[in-house]
Structure formats: structure tokens, C-alpha cells
Chain A
Amino acid sequence: DGGITQSPKYLFRKEGQNVTLSCEQNLNHDAMYWYRQDPGQGLRLIYYSQIVNDFQKGDIAEGYSVSREKKESFPLTVTSAQKNPTAFYLCASSKRSGTEQFFGPGTRLTVL
């Protein structure tokens, strides 16, 4: 059963702590993406990767970091430098850039 998974679904952290969100796909997709969604806002691109060991910043990369050591995995770290980290985080993948994107179920991060 192919798909894209994110864990955990809900995450609570204290201010000043780094936190890593997991994203795994078994669709054999080359491209992977991280988005942030705030209430009443569209999805905003944080980072994307078109191939293993390569990734680029999106529109709002400040305070975030990623790695792409395996094709299947694209974890996102929310660092303490991110000023307003509480949000709904969505990971997506696509066969290649320019094709439809498949989204995970999302992780809702709340920083207390």
C-alpha cells in the first residue's frame, strides 16, 4: 500500500527547543516538499528536494533545516530560530517536479 506518512500527528514542544518532523514515502518519487499552513492561509513552501542529497530553500526557509540522505525520507527540523513555529506542517512528494503532488496527513506542531 503505497503512500506518504508523517509522524507524529500532534507535537507539543517548549519554546527554544528544536524539533524534527518525520516524512517518509514509498512511492519511489524523486521530489519531496515541506509546506506550512496557517489558518486562512495558503500552503507556503519551506524546502524542497528534487533528488537525494540535494535540497533548496523555498519561500520561508528561515528557522528550518532539512536533509535528504535517502530517497524515501525528508525530515524537517524546526529550530529555535523560527519565530512563530506553531502551525500545520505538510509533507508532499511527486514523481518529478511539475507533476501532481501527493500529501501526507500532516503534523500539527504547537510550541508552548
Chain B
Amino acid sequence: SQKIEQNSEALNIQEGKTATLTCNYTNYSPAYLQWYRQDPGRGPVFLLLIRENEKEKRKERLKVTFDTTLKQSLFHITASQPADSATYLCALDMGGGSQGNLIFGKGTKLSVKP
């Protein structure tokens, strides 16, 4: 079965630096991959979706890459701010007959220090 790993439980960086979060999967390449932000005690909020035929996608200070050879997605936040502190979840489609359902990683908790 598909396994998804976000390689850091926690990431601490200084304000203004670029945060880079990693998402790895083990088996088949998903048709698409999504990134969400979750604040404590709240539901996740969708950020970006990237499809298997896309190498990179951007939205304001966010950038996502998708490398099907490495079976990896990288999520970048440039010029990071303390308000970016949250847990970031990677999710990918389960494939096959899953009807578009997602499997979520455990998340990486990002802390941006002023």
C-alpha cells in the first residue's frame, strides 16, 4: 500500500529565511499531490495542488515541486514570517479505485522565530 512520509516532525527557522518541507511517498506515483496548513485545534486549510505532469507550482510566497523520479514533493515558503508557524500536511491520492480519496502525512510543524 502507499506510504507517505514527511521527514521532519518539526522545523525551526529564522524569520525571513526560506522554509523547505519534504514529502516522500513509497509506491506508485499519485496523479496529484496537495499541501494543507493546519493551526492547533482547527481544520486543515488547502494551499496548493500539483499534478503529476507539473514540475512546479507557485502561489504568492509558496512554491511546490513534484519529482516523480525521486518520489518526492518539496514545499517552500520564502521570506517566512512568524504568522507562517503552523503544521503543514502533505496529501496524495490513493490511486487505483480509491475514487480520488487522499492519504495524509503526519505533518511537519514549522516554527518561524522573529
Of B12-20, B58-66, B73-81, B99-107, the stretch lying at the interface with chain A is B99-107
A111 to chain B, nearest CB (A): 19
Q: Is the CB of B99 within 8 A of A50?
A: yes
Q: Which residue of B lies closest to A106 (CB)?
A: B43
A64 within 8 A of B: no
A98 within 8 A of B: yes
When each residue 1-44 of chain B gets 1 if its CB lies under 8 Å from chain A and 0 otherwise, what string results?
00010000100000000000000000000011010000001111
Q: Is the CB of B41 within 8 A of A101?
A: no
**How many residues of chain B get a CB closer than 8 Å to chain A's CBs?**
24
A13 within 8 A of B: no
Q: Which residues of B are at the interface with A, using a C-beta cutoff of 8 A?
A: 4, 9, 31-32, 34, 41-46, 49, 89, 91, 93, 99-107
Contacts of A31 in B (CB 8 A): 100
Contacts of B41 in A (CB 8 A): 88, 106, 108
**Interchain CA distance A48-B100 in the complex, whole Å:** 11
Q: Which residue of B lies closest to A102 (CB)?
A: B46
Q: Which of A35, A90, A96 contacts B100 (CB 8 A)?
A: A96
